[in-house]
Structure formats: structure tokens, C-alpha cells
Amino acid sequence: MVYLFLAEGFETIEALTVVDMLRRAEIDIKTVSVMDSLEVVSAHRIPVKADVMIDDIIEQPADMYVLPGGIPGTPNLRANKTLMDMIKKQYEAGGYVAAICAAPGIFSELGFLKGRSATCYPSFEEQLKSEGADVTQLPAVTDGNVITGRGMGTAISFSSAIITALKGSEMAEKIEKSIVYK
């Protein structure tokens, strides 16, 4: 199971592209609200109804946790202590964690990117570098159990990296071909 976390102000394309592509790849994914209701409004005022509330999945096993970016979505994710504890536990157990755009900044703050290759939205590169990441400008980077994506325009590449990690590159290529990506 993959859980993608939504907070007020999330980047719509970064969140929903992941959900769409993983479902096409027949990977179980649920959206999780970290707010006070299932309905979460994106940075561009698009309401999205999450599948579950964070309290419903605290003890549930996960193959991966995914954080979309967006402002103020990323700071709102960072402010949720329950989510931060879950992300740390997942990472420390060797489970996959993935973040795109501004959200890799959360991983750098938590120490996940020290000595790892990573990518993020350009204005967050210095933060990642200052905390020990080897920052690239690639659309998506997988380094061990950490996957990062650059931003909205790379959401397909980021989703493909997630699919590759969970189901292999052949499945990722199949999904890319089906959506006429390249």
C-alpha cells in the first residue's frame, strides 16, 4: 500500500498524477488527509476528497509514503507531528519515502538526504545542499529508499520512479507509453 498525504495548499498535479499513474500500474494507493476533514483544498483552490484520515492509517503497514509539494501544502505537511513521526519510522525501517518539489526539504530537515543524490524545486536546492544532499537537476532521483522529484512539470517522471521502485521499469515504461508521455 502506498499512502499519499494531502495538506491544505498541496500542488494538485504533483499529487493527482502520482495517484493516477500508480492506479494505472495496479498499485494500491490511498490519499490521506492530514487536516480536520477528508476534503483538502489544493494550492489552486481545487477541492479533493481524500480516501482516509491520517489517524485511520497510523498503524497500517506501507510500501511507500509520498509527499506532494506546494505552498502552503509542504509547510502544512511539515507541521503535522503525526505525519513526521510516521515518515521517520518508515525511513528508519528501510521503507520507501518519496517527495516532490518543495517536499524534499522535509526530508533534508529530517536528515534523510545527507550523502544522497536528490532533486527538488530550484528555490529549495540550497537548503538540500546545506544539509548534505548531492543536488541534481534531474526530473526524478532514486537513491536507496528515497525518491525525489523536481516539480510539477516532472510529476510523470516522479511517478514513473515510484512505479519502477515498486513494480519494475517494464511496468513504468508500459504506463508511460499508455499515456503518450514520450
Tens of pLDDT along 60-97?
A: 999 999 999 999 999 999 999 999 999 999 999 999 99
By the 8 A CB rule, do 127 and 99 touch?
no
Would you give the DSSP letter of residue 88? H
Q: Return the pLDDT at 83.
A: 98
Q: Domain of residue 7: give its range.
A: 2-175
CATH of the domain at 76: 3.40.50.880
- Residue 145 within any structural domain of the chain: yes
- Residue 181 within any structural domain of the chain: no
- Residue 17 within any structural domain of the chain: yes
Q: Return the pLDDT at 180.
A: 79
- Residue 59 within any structural domain of the chain: yes
- Residue 50 within any structural domain of the chain: yes
- Residue 182 within any structural domain of the chain: no
Number of independent structural domains in the chain: 1
For the four alpha carbons of 84, 86, 92 and 97, in that order, the dihedral sign comes to negative
DSSP alpha helices (H): ranges in the chain?
12-24, 73-78, 81-92, 104-109, 125-130, 155-167, 169-178
Q: What are phi and psi of 56, to 5 degrees?
A: -75, -15
**pTM score over 0.85:** yes
Q: Return the pLDDT at 5.
A: 98
By the 8 A CB rule, do 42 and 12 touch?
yes
Residue reference for cell 518543495: 102
Q: Return the pLDDT at 181.
A: 64
- Residue 112 within any structural domain of the chain: yes
- Residue 180 within any structural domain of the chain: no
Q: Return the pLDDT at 109.
A: 97
Residues of the chain with pLDDT under 50: none
Q: Return the pLDDT at 88.
A: 98
Element (H, E) at 126: helix 125-130
